[in-house]
Amino acid sequence: MELSAFDIIGPIMIGPSSSHTAGAVRLGLLSRAILNQEPTEARIYLHGSFAETYRGHGTNLALVAGLMGLATDDERIPEALQLARARGLEVSFQSIDLGDVHPNSVKIELRGKAGRRVVVTGSSVGGGKILITNIDDFAVELSGDYHTVIVIHLDQPGVVAQITTLLAAAQVNIAQMRLSRQKRGALALTVLETDQEVQATVLDLIRAMPAVNLAMTAKPLV
């Protein structure tokens, strides 16, 4: 496997640990993108080594910084809790046992300014890399390394094919795709990681599909 400089030395960052700081910022950033609104409330549940060392390594500050949209090298990360209060973002922290998952894992319950709620679970897997493993009880594998399309829709024949057809017509190449459903015929969540950005006009076509409840995009994390 070919390694990039990012894989070898990690990201430019504020903080003592790429896993506990840079990775935590990126978990917050991607959770914010999945919420797709300015967050007003965040209940953060820390697992494993995140729970044991989060104050000493600044994981709490990093997660909140990401939720506010700050980058991994933003000098305001140490002030994240004060900034959150100033912005009206209510934050709480608790320990949790998430079971057999990576030790640097977190579950984040978010509420947005327009009322949307989402629960995101993910891990910081080393070198600033992350993996989102669950969105609202749907199993996913989302790294934040690609342009991403997230679609919640009815589990009906032809829905995914129609989505991929729209992307193909727009010359968008799919790098990875994962479908998760609650049960047969109920709601499903499709995550598509793409090599190109999905334009707003294409996203509007996806949203207009009768079976689609919600569709959003997220840019690659830096």
Q: How far is CA 165 from the centre of its chain?
A: 25
Tell me: the pLDDT tens digits for 137-162? 999 999 999 999 999 999 999 999 99
Portions of the chain given CATH number 3.30.70.260: 147-218
Would you place residue 17 in the very low, low, confident or very high pLDDT band (cuts 50, 70, 90)? low
Residue 185, pLDDT > 90, answer no
What pLDDT is attached to residue 19?
55
- The CATH code that applies to domain 5-136 is 3.30.1330.90
Over residues 118-144, the pLDDT tens digits come to 999 999 998 889 999 999 999 999 999
- Residue range(s) in the chain whose domain bears CATH number 3.30.1330.90: 5-136
Give the phi and the psi of residue 184 in degrees, each rounded to 5. -60, 125
How far apart are alpha carbons 84 and 168 in whole angstroms?
40
55 falls in which pLDDT band (50, 70, 90)? Answer: confident
Q: Is the pLDDT of residue 74 over 70?
A: yes
Distance CA(164)–CA(158), nearest Å, equals 10
Where are any strands of DSSP class E within 22-137? 39-47, 90-95, 105-112, 117-126, 129-135
Which residue from 14, 2, 140 is spatially nearest to 75, judged by alpha carbons? Answer: 14
Separation of alpha carbons 3 and 5, rounded Å? 7
pTM score of the predicted model: 0.86
Q: Provide the pLDDT confidence category of residue 7 given band limits of 50, 70 and 90.
A: very low
pLDDT band at 88 (very low <50, low <70, confident <90, very high): very high
Indicate the CATH number for domain 147-218: 3.30.70.260
* Other C-beta atoms lying within 10 Å of the C-beta of residue 35: 23
pLDDT (0 to 100) of residue 57: 73
Stretch 20-28: mean pLDDT: 89
